[in-house]
Chain A
Amino acid sequence: MAENTSSWAYSDRVKEHFMNPRNVLSDEENFQEDGRGTVGSIQCGDEMLVLIKVADGRITDCRWRTYGCASAIASTSALSEMVKGMSLEDAAQITPKQILNYLHGLPDSKVHCSVLGDKALRAAIDDYRQRNGIVVEEKERPARIICDCIGVTDKDIMAAAKDGAVTWNELQQKTKIGTVCGKCKTHAMEVLDESLFEIHHETLKMHD
């Protein structure tokens, strides 16, 4: 048989992070986190836990655990490297696309795995802020998760709507929403309708 070095299922960067994951939370080190976030579920096949340490408004250290496939492990590992030293404001804005770029891409069917990492991080940041009574003067309110399985938020649905999604199928193509248990479909379509209404409304205002 040919050696296993080439044409692996994933990019070399993913493989490298899968083989040597960084910043995994170990039981021994007794990591004292300042914020903690979990997203996903075992039922859906992916679950991520992200812990952060914060000093002077910056993430100084990060630990994680993941139940999931190779790309889920690699994307959480990658995220844990990306956020070190980052300001909370910047870290809260990390997008799935940034994680994907860092990993040199993932197969289409695997994109949802990396989409979880930013949600878990965001949840950890929110937890840190809540613990410390920090009210963020953000224009934007925090995203609400609509699809628990894949961690798709109302903001993701808005982004998909802005990108032209009007049907359930189009929304699924853009976000992978509801491709596991599908229970969120009704709720998700309501959110899509609201988003489309909002976009339409904005457009009307522009024309005023």
Chain B
Amino acid sequence: MNRHVYLDNNATTPLDPDVLAAFSDALARFGNPSSMHGFGREAASLVSDARAEAAAILGAEPGEITCTSGGTESNNTVLASFAPGIPATDGVILPPPGRDEIIVSAIEHPAILETAFALRDRFGMTVHLAPVDATGRIDLAAFERLVNDKTALVSVMLANNEIGTIQDLTAISAIAHKAGAFVHTDAVQAVGKIPVDVTTLGVDYLSASGHKIHGPKGIGILWMRRGVPFAPLMHGGHQEQGRRAGTVNAPAIAALGTACRIAREQLATEARRLAGLRDRLRAGIEERISDTSINGNPDFCLPNTLNMSFRAAEGESTLLYLDLENIAVSTGSACASGSLEPSHVLLACGRSAELAHGSIRFSLGRTTSDEDIEYVLDKLPPIMARIRSMSTLR
């Protein structure tokens, strides 16, 4: 048997076969969606259908959807819209004056954290990091104290990529709006895994990504409520209603639309199935391996995500021994990141550096089977015993 087990779906997901079919079909329809002739209209119709699907998975209107190159671009576009000194040109909606503070959670993805820090360094904006509790949930009382009449934007991820913790965006939005601030959520990890409805969440902006929902890389969604502050990041033609210049990536958008449709149709059953497999994996590991601990929140967690710390076993070694058994996971260890610092998410949750170095993330997906989980439960215990037998820690 030559089994390959892919448990790194929060990093990226395999392309769904139906998405691949839609993708290659659309690639052959080469027309420019901005053209008025038949070739263009054919491509434009694919884009229009896909935009409707992207809107449907968010409970939004198609006209509120802008297609971008991915989650990172969507995030950059929103945050940069709040930079001071943007000229009030066509298509720009300026943020209210006198607000130069941004609040982001301490466990945001680098696509938010680094963007916020860049705005701080370039434009002198103030960035506040909202603290989280030991399970990664925003401390709402502390958050409320950070919000004031200088707050321009609050950006809090709907679900965390490393530990899967889901935030109470409805409450966060209410607090921010009361102070006159706008709210963005990076929902890259949440969309397709849990129900996402922009109205319920109460947010003003939302970012999502194609390749996290079995779509292609290089395509993402920016949803904006009408009339909120906005300045385009990309300048050029009038594509995407003037919000995002550049020839419309019709094939990737068509694939994204199919990915959104499948994710929406399968969401409820997949979420139940994956939560079952995830809980089986967790219970199996806890039965077989001592000295483990859970990172994240048991009540508010993505159904596909399990993040565990293994004492006395450095994460990169675990990852690479699993890789030799054709099992793909990820780790919050410094060694795997190239930065020499362990996961900022786990440190923000108050985990020790040792537990952060020893963390392993299992992120399940549509291709994960019962057999995959049993295979991991078979392979992981001897690997862990071996690493621990070599460890200086006992």
Contacts and interface: CB of A to CB of B under 8 A. Distances in A.
A45 interface: yes
A180 B334 contact: yes
Interface in B353-394: 353-354, 357, 389-393
B317 A38 contact: no
Interface in A93-148: 109-110, 112-113
Given A4-B326, A67-B312, A70-B320, A21 B335 contact: no
Nearest to A40: B392
Interface in B310-330: 312, 314, 316-317, 320, 323-324, 326
B334 A45 contact: yes
Contacts of A176: 340
Contact of B390 (A45, A73, A109): A73
Given A66-B392, A69-B316, A69-B335, A42 B354 contact: yes
Interface string A53-95: 0000000000001111111110000000000000000000000
B353 A42 contact: yes
B344 to A, nearest CB: 14
Contacts of A112: 340
Contacts of B354: 42-43
Contacts of A47: 392-393
B392 A70 contact: no
B288 interface: no
A45 B340 CA distance: 8
Interface residues of B, number: 26
B391 A66 contact: yes
Nearest to B354: A42
Interface in A12-51: 18-19, 21, 24, 26, 38, 42-49
Contacts of B352: 43
B314 A45 contact: yes
A182 to B, nearest CB: 10
Contacts of A24: 389-390
A43 B320 CA distance: 21
B341 interface: yes
Interface residues of A, number: 33
Given A18-B320, A68-B317, A180-B340, A1 B390 contact: no
B85 interface: no
B353 A44 contact: yes
A110 B333 CA distance: 13
A47 B389 CA distance: 14
Contacts of B4: 1
A109 B340 contact: yes
Contact of A109 (B324, B338, B353, B393): B338
B81 to A, nearest CB: 34
Interface of A: 1, 4, 9, 18-19, 21, 24, 26, 38, 42-49, 65-73, 109-110, 112-113, 176, 179-180
22 contacts: A1-B4, A18-B320, A24-B390, A26-B389, A38-B392, A42-B354, A42-B357, A42-B392, A43-B353, A45-B340, A45-B342, A48-B392, A65-B391, A66-B391, A67-B314, A67-B391, A68-B314, A69-B317, A69-B320, A72-B314, A73-B390, A180-B340
Closest 5 CB pairs of A and B: A69-B335, A69-B316, A43-B353, A47-B392, A45-B357
